């Protein structure tokens, strides 16, 4: 049975080790997160035991079986069962009723997602999210990555244009001109998290910025 670590560390539960669930579990395991993974496939669980002691083969996803694994002790539980909608919905309902602080669930469509949201889960649309990120990367050649957090808040990672090199944050004034905020600047592997108005941009700087989709698009077009 999984018991929450005494360390001040977020604990994650992953239910379902399909492509999405396995990728998520491996990413969390490699970042040294406290992790519990559940699946009915013995081979997949055997693979995950290289990364966590809390990997369990479970034949059923009923509440009693879930309790026996200790997943109720997690801070975040992610339901990665997308194809079998009935199992996804029932498992999500069980996890929410256990009082887990944050329950997330993978959805394969709008109706599925609406049901999961009504149950109290935060919904993830992996294919849609990846398509949005790819589209934005294709729209702007300087954009290295794009994450949509909500309709109004997005984060972009991009190379600074030549026209910004040698100018200060105040000179460029991204907030005034595009409604974009600088989160951090990376240069030669070093990350600057507090970027003051006097910071001078250098060639090779990578910007992490946040803002609306429209603001980020206008900034990307200006940066070309």
Domain-terminating residue out of 109, 124, 139: 124
Q: Are residues 34 and 94 in the same domain?
A: yes
- Note the pLDDT tens digit of each residue in 168-204: 999 999 899 988 888 889 888 788 888 899 999 998 8
CATH number of the domain where residue 62 is located: 3.40.50.720
Local confidence band at 71 (pLDDT 50, 70, 90 cut-offs): very high
Phi-psi region of 164 (alpha: psi -120 to 50; beta: other; left: phi over 0): alpha
pLDDT of amino acid 148: 54
Residue 94 falls inside a structural domain: yes
pLDDT of amino acid 38: 96
pTM score of the predicted model = 0.58
């Amino acid at each position: 049975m999984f018991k929450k670590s005494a360390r001040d560390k977020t604990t994650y539960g992953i239910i379902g080790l399909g492509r999405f669930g396995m990728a998520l579990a491996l990413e969390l395991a490699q970042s040294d997160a406290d992790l519990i993974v559940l699946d009915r496939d013995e081979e997949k669980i055997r693979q995950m035991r290289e990364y966590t002691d809390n990997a369990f083969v479970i034949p059923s996803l009923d509440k009693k079986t879930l309790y026996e694994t200790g997943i109720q002790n997690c801070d975040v539980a992610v339901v990665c069962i997308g194809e079998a909608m009935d199992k996804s919905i029932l498992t999500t309902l069980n996890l929410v009723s256990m009082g887990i602080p944050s329950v997330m669930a993978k959805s394969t469509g709008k109706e599925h997602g609406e049901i999961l949201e009504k149950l109290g889960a935060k919904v993830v649309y992996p294919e849609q999210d990846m398509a949005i990120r790819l589209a934005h990367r294709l729209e702007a050649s300087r954009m290295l990555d794009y994450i949509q957090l909500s309709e109004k808040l997005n984060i972009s990672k991009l190379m600074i244009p030549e026209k910004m090199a040698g100018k200060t944050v105040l000179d460029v004034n991204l907030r005034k001109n595009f409604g974009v905020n600088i989160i951090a600047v990376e240069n030669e592997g070093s990350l600057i998290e507090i970027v003051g108005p006097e910071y001078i941009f250098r060639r090779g700087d990578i910007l992490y910025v946040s803002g609306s989709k429209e603001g980020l698009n206008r900034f990307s077009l200006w940066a070309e």
